[in-house]
Chains A and B, each alone.
Chain A
Amino acid sequence: MIGIVDYGCGNLFSLKSSFARLGAATVVSGDARELGKCDRIVLPGVGAFADAVQKLIACGLDKAVVRMSKHIPLLGICLGMQLLFEKSFEYGEHAGLGLLEGSVVTLKDRVDKGYKIPQMGWNALAIVRKNRLLARVKDGDHMYFVHSYHAVDCRDSVTAVVDYGGDVTAAVERGNVFGTQFHPEKSGDSGLAVLKAFTEL
């Protein structure tokens, strides 16, 4: 059973539907005990970093997610991936879950080079090292991105980047902790292949 963490951040309908398409059972829950029965956890997220952290803490899920990640695979998606890092500089400085080394900063420096913010659309993955989450996708496969901030100083965990006026962290992985900046549930067959690999870990 895959537990999709429901803490009031993001649209979970497509994520749930994607796993259903793959024949994988999910439970959408904001209850730590219920999520504790799952063998995989997905941390979604849309919106602002600080707001998401506060909501996670308010639901008592921050510690639960960290604890579960010691034993079972955890996949953070979009803002959910950013939450895995030590801190974010989105509107101030805010602590994340600290599961991965690195921080989250604005993409605004790319504007000077003529790039629009948010990065919205399909970008081609450049896989930088062999990894498990992207086992079923190819270098150059397009994934769907919508974001204005990105993870940096995460050399330990980055597995794929995309080019948007310079490298942008697209996927991360270390031990049980996995993350995608892109939305696999919105990336067509390539995205489903990522979720499929997650169900096979």
Chain B
Amino acid sequence: MLAKRIIPCLDVKNGRVVKGVNFSGLKDVSDPVELADAYSRDGADELVFYDITASSDGRKIFADVLRRTAERVFIPLTVGGGINGLDDFGVVLDSGADKVSVNSGAIADRSLISRAAKKYGDQCVVLSVDVKRVNGEFTVFSHGGRINTGMNAVQWIKFGADNGAGEIVVNSMDTDGVKNGFDTELLKAVTAVVNVPVVASGGAGCIAHFIELFKSVNADAALGASVFHYGEVSFAELKRAMRENGIQARS
């Protein structure tokens, strides 16, 4: 049986890790290479780096961070942030990423997922979606959660999976930063329509939230940021609790 994956997410700006709470109030946490290495040794199953740098100089720093991480850390590495075209896929894959996460770029150009899947393989195309309830409907937001696209999230995710996304990251803006648990209602709606791995994101505050997620939803992985960055949950304790609850975890 596959183990349920626990994935820390590192937001990187100008070569440093930051984490926004509800997408604002950034706080510098640590050096991404050091943090990635520490998380890998502690038992993280995979890593996600989001590049939230805007400047081209910052982009070069990020590519360097990626290469230095891939030289030292031998677990899967997903990269997202500012992926708008096939060339962006090539740059991060060449720098040591295994998977590339697209969000706004796939909304702006709906052919991007299928073109990237054809060129680099389904397995490295990850569709990341920021979702918020608007009048009771799961709605896709773009540009870091700032723009309401008006698109239905479940339909958009199905479109992505049908067109070659090999994995879906579902980030609930309603639960993100609140630390009150994952958005199991949203995640159930998503796992019901796609047959590719689904990564739950947004809302992890304690070990019980991960247990509740995997007990109630057929999600494959859980993503967390500050819950790990601030040491609220350690990977070893989380894995032990998962095993005690009959959930497959990598030792």
Interface residues of A (CB under 8 A from B): 11, 13-14, 17-18, 20-21, 46-48, 111, 116-124, 140, 142, 144-148, 163-164, 185-189, 191-192
Contacts and interface: CB of A to CB of B under 8 A. Distances in A.
Nearest to B4: A121
B102 to A, nearest CB: 17
Interface stretch (B90-98, B135-143, B178-186): B90-98
Interface residues of B, number: 32
Q: Sorted from nearest, which 5 A-B pairs have the closest CB atoms? A: A142-B250, A121-B2, A122-B3, A122-B250, A17-B71
A161 B120 CA distance: 27
B74 A188 contact: yes
A144 B70 contact: no
Nearest to A146: B123
B63 to A, nearest CB: 12
Contacts of A147: 123
B249 to A, nearest CB: 9
A146 B124 CA distance: 9
Interface string B91-123: 001111010000000000000000000001111
Nearest to A108: B195
Contacts of A122: 2-3, 5, 45, 250
B32 interface: no
B166 interface: yes
B94 A13 contact: yes
A120 B195 CA distance: 12
B40 interface: yes
Nearest to A15: B74
B225 interface: no
A14 B251 contact: no
Given A121-B45, A163-B1, 8 more contacts: A21-B74, A48-B121, A118-B166, A118-B197, A122-B45, A123-B1, A124-B1, A140-B251
A188 to B, nearest CB: 5
B211 interface: no
A188 B75 contact: yes
Given A47-B121, A188-B74, A188-B75, A120 B197 contact: yes
> Of B72, B96, B250, B251, which is in contact with the most chain A CB atoms at under 10 Å from its CB?
B250
A117 B196 contact: yes
Given A11-B98, A14-B70, A186-B98, A120 B75 contact: no
A150 to B, nearest CB: 14
B220 to A, nearest CB: 6
A142 B251 contact: yes
A163 B248 CA distance: 12
A164 B2 contact: yes
A13 B96 contact: yes
A144 B75 contact: yes
A121 B221 contact: yes
A192 B41 CA distance: 13
B116 to A, nearest CB: 13
B66 to A, nearest CB: 9
B51 interface: no
Nearest to B67: A13
B123 A120 contact: yes
Interface string B190-205: 0000011100000000
Given A117-B196, A120-B220, A121-B220, A13 B123 contact: no
B176 interface: no
A124 B2 CA distance: 7
B164 to A, nearest CB: 12
B9 to A, nearest CB: 17
Contact of A118 (B1, B74, B123): B123
Interface in B25-55: 40, 45
Contacts of A187: 74-75
A113 B6 CA distance: 24
B234 to A, nearest CB: 17
Interface string B66-83: 010011101110000000
In this complex, the member of A18, A119, A120, A163 whose beta carbon has the largest number of chain B beta carbons within 10 angstroms is A120
